[in-house]
């Protein structure tokens, strides 16, 4: 069986990727420093604790497991924090990724699947983003991810490193079997915040801005089910194995849901009302951001089977009720 090194494999998306990789016949080796990940989420292959900024540790793990590819999820991802602590994001996201890429090349591991973000595009309000949309990141999170994309291109030219890059917006849902799920501290994602509010784990959900030019006044975002997302990453790995060359893919539904639509669907799925407060708009929040996925569907053969709002919420609710990694 082929081994794949999964950085951030103890996190939300990474743990789901490890399950998908195992189901596809790979051995996923999780590399994680457990700063934001959870040891209990590592269930589908070996675990190696370490930090991306520790090159010696990376070299040791590559030598021990000899992976055929890297699937790179590990990153800091809070936009507010990126605005106030940009140096931390450049050091971790870009510097750590450079260490990882150099270690992979040194080990002869030349297939690289990178979890990027549509934050690299910056502010393009009310348009469907595609892979040709200009990249104009607004903060150190998007900029640090964009820089890694550039590094991958340079290392392809110099060393033959092949990469598949995925850019996506909001990830939601959970493993339908509830073996792994979404749990952040602090929690910032809308679906788990909604579920916390209707379950009494927080007093109320705050809706930031109700005067947007949308049907219900709240802003619209694209959501993709985490299982569909990681399925695309496995397809990306297989794309590289078939020697089709480096490529960039957006992942999304192309439509999007408003904050109120998410709240209303959560109430419908759970049978509970969502207590909420209304607050002012947050600086930098756009009216509508959606990500087109025509290339992923037509070229990669990706089929987002579970990215319907009711399914994403139902799966998240099942996970929510099953207990978390840490109380």
The residues annotated with a catalytic role in the active site are 141
**Separation between Cα atoms, residue 150 and residue 100, nearest integer Å:** 14
CA distances from 136 to 77, 121, 170, 197 (A): 17, 5, 19, 35
| DSSP category for residue 282 | P
Query: Which alpha helices (H) appear in 38-77, and where do they start and end?
Result: 55-65
Instruction: Tally Cβ neighbours within 10 Å of residue 254.
Output: 16
Identify the CA nearest to 145 among candidates 213, 106, 224, 92.
Answer: 92
Q: Which two tokens stand for residue 71?
A: 């699937």
Using the structure block, give the residue that is written with the tokens 């893919």. 249
**Residue 46 and residue 6 in contact, taking contact as beta carbons nearer than 8 Å:** no
């Amino acid at each position: 069986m082929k081994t794949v090194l999964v950085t951030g494999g103890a996190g939300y998306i990474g743990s789901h990727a490890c399950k998908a990789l195992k189901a596809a016949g790979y051995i996923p080796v999780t590399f994680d420093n457990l700063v934001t990940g959870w040891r209990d989420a590592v269930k589908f292959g070996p675990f190696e604790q370490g930090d991306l900024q520790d090159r010696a540790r990376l070299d040791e793990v590559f030598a021990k497991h000899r992976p055929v590819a890297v699937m790179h999820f590990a990153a800091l991802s809070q936009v507010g924090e990126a605005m106030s602590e940009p140096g931390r994001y450049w050091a971790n996201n870009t510097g750590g990724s450079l260490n990882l890429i150099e270690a992979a090349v040194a080990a002869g591991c030349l297939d690289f699947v990178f979890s990027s973000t549509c934050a690299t595009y910056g502010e393009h309000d009310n348009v469907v983003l595609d892979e040709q949309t200009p990249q104009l990141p607004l903060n150190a999170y998007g900029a640090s991810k964009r820089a890694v994309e550039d590094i991958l291109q340079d290392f392809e030219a110099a060393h033959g490193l092949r990469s598949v890059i995925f850019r996506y917006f909001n990830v939601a849902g959970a493993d339908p079997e509830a073996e792994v799920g979404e749990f952040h501290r602090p929690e910032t994602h809308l679906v788990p915040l909604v579920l916390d509010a209707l379950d009494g784990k927080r007093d109320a959900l705050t809706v930031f801005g109700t005067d947007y030019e949308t049907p219900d006044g709240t802003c619209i975002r694209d959501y993709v089910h985490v299982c569909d997302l990681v399925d695309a990453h496995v397809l990306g790995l297989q794309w590289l194995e078939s020697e089709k060359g480096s490529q960039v893919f957006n992942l999304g539904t192309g439509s999007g849901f408003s904050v109120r639509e998410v709240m209303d669907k959560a109430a419908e799925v759970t049978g509970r009302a969502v207590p909420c407060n209304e607050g002012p708009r947050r600086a930098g929040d756009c009216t509508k951001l959606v990500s087109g996925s025509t290339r992923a569907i037509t070229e990669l053969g990706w089929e987002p089977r579970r990215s319907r709002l009711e399914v994403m919420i139902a799966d998240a609710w099942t996970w929510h009720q099953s207990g978390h990694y840490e109380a």
